[in-house]
A and B are shown apart, each in its own frame.
Chain A
Amino acid sequence: MVNTSPAVRLTAVHKRFGAVRAVAGVDLEIGRGETLALLGRNGAGKSTTIGLLLGLDQPDGGGVELFGGPPARAVRAGRVGAMLQDGHPIPRVTVAELVAFVAAAYPCPMPAAEALELAGIGALGGRRVDRLSGGQAQRLRFALAVAGNPWLIVLDEPTAALDVEARRAFWRAMRGYAARGNTVLFSTHYLEEADENADRIVVMDRGRIVADGSGERIKQAVGGTLVSFDLAGGGTEGLRALPGVTAVEVRGDRALLRSGDSDATVLALAAAGRVRRLEVAPARLEDAFLSLTDPMADAPDDPAGGPDGERTGDRAAGPPGAVRAKGTARGRAGRGRKEPVR
């Protein structure tokens, strides 16, 4: 039987915890062999989405399929490996014992030594799990995710608490696994990580998908220059069609235009007479990301949660991008169905 269904298919998935709408209507399809980053701040709904996708939690509404069937079946069949955010390996076993045990639960695992090698802990097989450093334990968790040779691995914030060097080594290992033709889904709140390691980035905020595209497109949307002015009661129609503009946002009475060509945008605005309190400022990447995911916030004090040094300075202003940002399209975000902005 040839099964060609996508690795992951979420259809209008909803999940509520008490009063909190953790996932509020997510449609997502991940093709086989794709490496996808789920980008968003803490509380954006990434982990909940991952829990639903793995069958660890049941959605209140909507459908979840892995390889064309229910998640439990794919998990049972050994097609899925995961690195959960709060899944810590158990003490009093050696690294090799634990990896061999998990591998043996799968129908066609890779040799334990290979999993250790791939995770970059080939020399630590005899070490007791409780004696690993934080970074080593993280790599062990990666080894456990891949040991069964699954088709899909899901990594929930895999680099949290890793230093720069360990992070680099980790992504090398992940790309190695993806290069074998496997599907990888990882979550992160670092745009840079998502951009460097994924074919496609899906941005989540408040339980919804707010943008979906290649790293280049996401960066175009959030990079560039921010041109803002007072609407003074005027409408927003036509703003998006101005030269250079990639996204339009309204905060209170102020319009914020993200532009890849601010000179052209400003000239066009001037021609239209819309220059009240006009400001042109370079969009710092993290501010831009925040505005992409949270246009209602008036005092952003948590710029997406990343270390400050990580994402500053990236102001690449590309040609007008084609990212669907909040307000332009909600939910449905299949690959290759990105709606051009103009």
Chain B
Amino acid sequence: MSRRLGPVLRYARLEVRRTLRDAGYVITSVAMPLTMYLLFTNLGASESAADRADYARYAMVGMAAYGALGAALGIGTGVADDKGRGWLRQLRVTPLTPAQVVAGRALTASVTVLPALVTVLGAGAAVNGVRLAAWQWAAVAGLLWLGTFPFTLLGLGNGYGLSAQATGVASMASMMGLSVIGGLWIPVALFPRWLAAVSRWTPTRRFGDLGWSVLDHRGPSLGTVAVLGGWLLLFGGYAVVAYRRGARTA
């Protein structure tokens, strides 16, 4: 077991280090969501203190999810980049198996989404005075962390299937588009009805719901789990197809 797992852990450790040293990662996945969170919640002149507090909680989950989304999709840019420099091919002449390489990358994402989550949640508590029960903090962080997995698969699919440049574009477009339609930036309550209806089917809306449902003292609904599960399968299938096509030529 450890002979299989050891290389995965070592690969993930190397990749986590590389990611944390990447200015692009720090800016898009940590600095940007944090800045946007603090700006959105403190510049807007809301009428009542209750509204403000409400928005601070809602946006905290939205922006944490947005940052984590960026980190998860960003894994694809890393993969595409490594593929372009021939590094994935180089890895194929080491004893590492392709499965270990993919697992190492996925594990990397599960670590690099954490700073994004923790920073925004931390700012919510420390700067914006968001108060939650201990279990709620744990549940919000834990559920959002788990909820990044479909996006990690989407990122891996992009990375193996597309060129480095195309991956960058695809990641940026899906990050922005899905964040907006999913209500991570702007509350869905402000959407026109048709957009709200579309939003319900997006993975990002359901991703945010994982956290928002905890704020309301509910758990994620069956619908949320089902829709996210559907996207998980879809992105997983995409990743497998892209990997089979891309890794062979890598």
Binding site for B on A (CB under 8 A): 54-56, 75-78, 80-82, 84, 86-93, 97-98, 101-102, 104-107, 144, 148, 154
Contact = CB atoms under 8 A, between A and B. Distances in A.
Q: List 5 tightest A-B contacts by C-beta distance, closest first.
A: A87-B90, A88-B85, A86-B86, A87-B86, A82-B93
A84 B93 contact: yes
Contacts of B87: 87-90
Given A86-B86, A87-B87, A93-B18, A54 B93 contact: yes
Contacts of A54: 93
Given A87-B87, A101-B10, A104-B7, A92 B21 contact: yes
B11 interface: yes
B244 interface: no
Given A54-B93, A93-B17, A105-B10, 15 more contacts: A56-B89, A78-B94, A80-B93, A82-B90, A87-B85, A89-B85, A89-B90, A90-B87, A92-B17, A93-B14, A97-B14, A101-B14, A104-B7, A107-B95, A154-B93
B96 interface: yes
Q: Which of B11, B89, B93 neighbours the largest number of chain A CB atoms within 10 Å of its CB?
A: B93
Contact of B95 (A76, A101, A144, A154): A76
B7 A105 contact: yes
Contacts of A78: 94-95
A90 B82 contact: yes
Interface residues of B, number: 21
A90 B18 contact: yes
22 contacts: A56-B93, A75-B93, A75-B95, A78-B95, A81-B93, A87-B87, A87-B89, A89-B85, A89-B90, A90-B85, A91-B18, A92-B18, A93-B17, A97-B17, A101-B10, A101-B14, A102-B94, A105-B94, A106-B94, A144-B90, A148-B94, A148-B95
Interface string B27-58: 00000000000000000000000000000000
Contacts of A90: 18, 82, 85, 87
A104 B93 contact: no
B216 interface: no
Interface in B49-94: 82, 85-87, 89-90, 92-94
B14 A84 contact: no
B170 to A, nearest CB: 21
B89 A86 contact: yes
B11 A101 contact: yes
Q: Which of B90, B94, B97 neighbours the largest number of chain A CB atoms within 10 Å of its CB?
A: B94
A303 B85 CA distance: 29
A77 B97 CA distance: 11
Interface string B87-118: 10110111111000000000000000000000
A227 to B, nearest CB: 46
Given A92-B22, A93-B17, A101-B14, A84 B89 contact: yes
A105 B96 contact: yes
A76 B98 CA distance: 11
Contact of A88 (B18, B86, B92, B93): B86
A91 B84 CA distance: 13
Interface in B190-213: none
B76 to A, nearest CB: 15
A162 to B, nearest CB: 18
A105 B95 CA distance: 6
Interface string B1-35: 00000110011001001100110000000000000
Nearest to B13: A101
A46 to B, nearest CB: 16
A338 B82 CA distance: 43
A121 to B, nearest CB: 17
Nearest to B93: A82
Contacts of B85: 86-90
A128 to B, nearest CB: 9
Contacts of A87: 85-87, 89-90
Contacts of B21: 92
A88 B7 CA distance: 21
A106 B10 CA distance: 12
A84 B95 contact: no
Contacts of A102: 94
Contacts of A80: 93
Contacts of B97: 76
Nearest to B97: A76
Contacts of B95: 75-78, 105-107, 148
A310 to B, nearest CB: 27
A104 B10 contact: yes
B9 to A, nearest CB: 10
A106 B17 CA distance: 21
A201 to B, nearest CB: 24
A101 B8 CA distance: 11
Contacts of B86: 84, 86-88
A154 B96 CA distance: 17
Contacts of A148: 94-95
A129 to B, nearest CB: 10
Nearest to B250: A56
Contacts of B10: 101, 104-105
Q: Which of B11, B22, B85 neighbours the largest number of chain A CB atoms within 10 Å of its CB?
A: B85
